[in-house]
Chain A
């Protein structure tokens, strides 16, 4: 049999996913189903000290993965948080043992819809159970237990990673000393759910999606996934950042073409964002993970009282937001700080001035680095 065309292969088989551990004990999920066995793929950086007190868990965002501080095996690009994590960086791998795992439902080696369902021998596809942010954190807890770490020095993450960070503090308050949610919210807003639904519908409208069975049928809904990424990307940047970077500049031409080919730089930029994304991401994974974010509402079980989530919480919180982030605006972040204040938790909150929008948390933001460095250094001062 000749080698299958590249688009038929699951994304991850071309890649070295780093380390992975498979658990046979079933993982109970919020939807009522269980996942067994399940695999968590992860990377670590730095060295765990003898007292196992220097472990920092990084939680990745919607389209992130475990390659937080090392080159991506598919794209070859540097780690997605290279500016934040590494030797001498704010999350200093010379001092801290950094763990980052791919979320369940993801497509970089952890169990997700593109993986083989042991019950059928075929890809899960839409038979994969709907997972939640809490389920992702449950799986991470298994990994942390597996590594023999009773208490994490810190859990840090931005966007969906920030949601996981909050969930860690809510689910396992005795297992975290310091908590750093960045550019996130305690619940997904109507506007954010709306944008996600546009992305999902774009994927499902692609004839190559095949009701989620594209792996079996030898297709890939790349166009739908690219459109989903294009729409989402707009929400990651501020209006001012787009205007400053692209304005109405034309792409490789002197005049408008009077056709529907991309005339404007912003159009070809978005096309590029979409096209490069489909090389490294699975469409069904995108459906599942966006859904997990939509379902996130930390206060739901407490009648909307966010304070109740954090009652009796000894962890120290440092919440970071960005002034031009309209996806997770500062007021959503500050709401978490006020809820924590109401139950006398130790919480700090910063609103960093930036014109870069939501993506600021991934970019060179010296004030964010200073905040995180100062906070972690103090949190670690009596431990390491």
Chain B
């Protein structure tokens, strides 16, 4: 079973044998991969009943819940790494969620779509309507992604939350990932903020 490239990039950030919390773990593909290949002590939070059942059948320890309401109940610094994959844009309070992630884990891996991607910008500029792209294919009235941002916006948020970027990878249109220099992320007009479909960040609290 091959892992999605963005999940593979996250998996590469996780140290063997560490304690990992995957927030929004879906059907548990990443967690199971980490448990099997890196011998991690894995936990998950997942909103969908069907997905939780899939995780339980895989022998994973997953709590049905959501990032907005459940992270508050997790003690500080108990996980070596906390993962939030393609979920922060769907939370009600991204800043509060990020603060909790940084509190709970010594390292936090976040992947998110980039609303500053040139195709998104072009779609809005030329079409005059909310963009629908292959990565964000929802009508504005149906989308679960209620807090979309650009990579530059997210970097600002990490600073406001007192976190620094340990490493960053762009998610490219072909499904590949490339390690990028975090310093280039706040350039609004060139660099990853224009050319990356999304990105993966490894953060730590300052």
Residue ranges of A at the interface with B (Cβ–Cβ < 8 Å): 316-318, 334, 337-338, 341-342, 344, 346-353, 367, 370-371, 373-375, 377-379, 381
Contact = CB atoms under 8 A, between A and B. Distances in A.
A317 B43 CA distance: 12
B175 interface: no
Given A334-B65, A348-B61, A349-B63, A375 B56 contact: yes
Contact of B56 (A334, A350, A352, A381): A350
Contacts of A352: 49
Contacts of A348: 52, 55-56, 60-63
Name the 9 nearest CB pairs between A and B, nearest first.
A374-B57, A378-B59, A349-B63, A338-B73, A346-B61, A375-B56, A350-B64, A374-B56, A370-B53
A378 B59 CA distance: 6
10 contacts: A342-B75, A344-B19, A344-B41, A349-B63, A349-B65, A370-B57, A375-B57, A378-B57, A378-B58, A378-B59
Contacts of B78: 342, 344
A315 B115 CA distance: 44
B155 to A, nearest CB: 31
A351 B64 contact: yes
B63 A337 contact: yes
Nearest to B74: A341
A367 B49 contact: yes
Interface residues of B, number: 22
Nearest to A321: B64
Contact of B52 (A316, A338, A350, A381): A350
Given A341-B43, A374-B54, 18 more contacts: A317-B61, A318-B56, A334-B63, A338-B74, A341-B63, A341-B73, A342-B75, A347-B61, A347-B63, A348-B52, A349-B52, A350-B52, A351-B49, A374-B56, A377-B57, A378-B56, A379-B59, A381-B59
B53 A371 contact: yes
Contacts of B56: 318, 348, 350, 371, 374-375, 378
B184 to A, nearest CB: 38
